[in-house]
Structure 1
Amino acid sequence: MAGNRGQNKNVRLSKNLSEMKFMQRRVKKDAEEELESEKQRQIDDDHWVLDLPDLISKGNRYETVDSMADCEDLVFGRMSFKGMNPVIEKVMRIMNGEEEEEEEELEEKAEGVTEEEMANRYSSLVGTIGKKFDKKRIHSQTDVDAPRKKHKKKFLKPPDE
């Protein structure tokens, strides 16, 4: 009987069966669906549609931009100079490309100490620091050429007469 609901409208159910709650709910639901479809049909009939040719979309005249960097033609959003923010400077170097990195490396080499200068300075420091840790006797023997320090004069007690 459930399969024949929509097909056979002439089937009459007994009065007792049609008065049961589940049957009344079903009848009410069917009536609401039919009323809803009738309303939709009425709206479709009343709805006016203009038969105009499709307008060619010109596209959006305005462009929305989230960042001021694009408006001002800035390469970087945040900038840093002379080591104030090393993280941002590193990002700037990466975005600029390798050319500027090579230039910075050359500048660092020019400002820094060359390997030869470092070796000369290190060799002279080894002797100087080595002298510092020598014992006093060994230190005095190695500095024979160096002028001796004059000892401070101490108070001399006058002889007893």
Structure 2
Amino acid sequence: MNSKMNKVKLSKGILEMKFMSRTREKIEKEKDDAEGRALYSNEITDKMMHESSKFVIETSYVPCEDLIEGRVSYGGMNPEIERLMELEKNKDLAAKIEKEQAEAAERQKMRKDVPDEEMAKFYTSVMKTMKKK
């Protein structure tokens, strides 16, 4: 930590020179990072800064539970909202069907053209040829 305290600072005139642009940007980034750490020092621990996070923190449990966000209407109380809900449901269903069709097409492409036994025979014959050479 003493090395950071004793670090020589470059003058503003030198940093304004054309060839010092990367150094200037680096110093500004370090300064901004230091200000951010000072601002949130009581909330961010050293462990949080030095470890990669294994968890995603959500501010709400709505996406975790796949809940419906927004207004909801049942039994014809608000027909406009019910129509919007039906459109969104159909759009989600269409996206799911499209995804399943794309996966099925991908599986179809990945099918084997040559059976395993035939491939094994070919491989052994190639290896025998390579040994002869």
After TM superposition, the score normalised by the length of structure 1 is: 0.22
- RCO higher in structure (CA 8 A, sep ≥6): 2
Q: Which protein is richer in helix relative to its size? A: 2
After TM superposition, the score normalised by the length of structure 2 is: 0.26
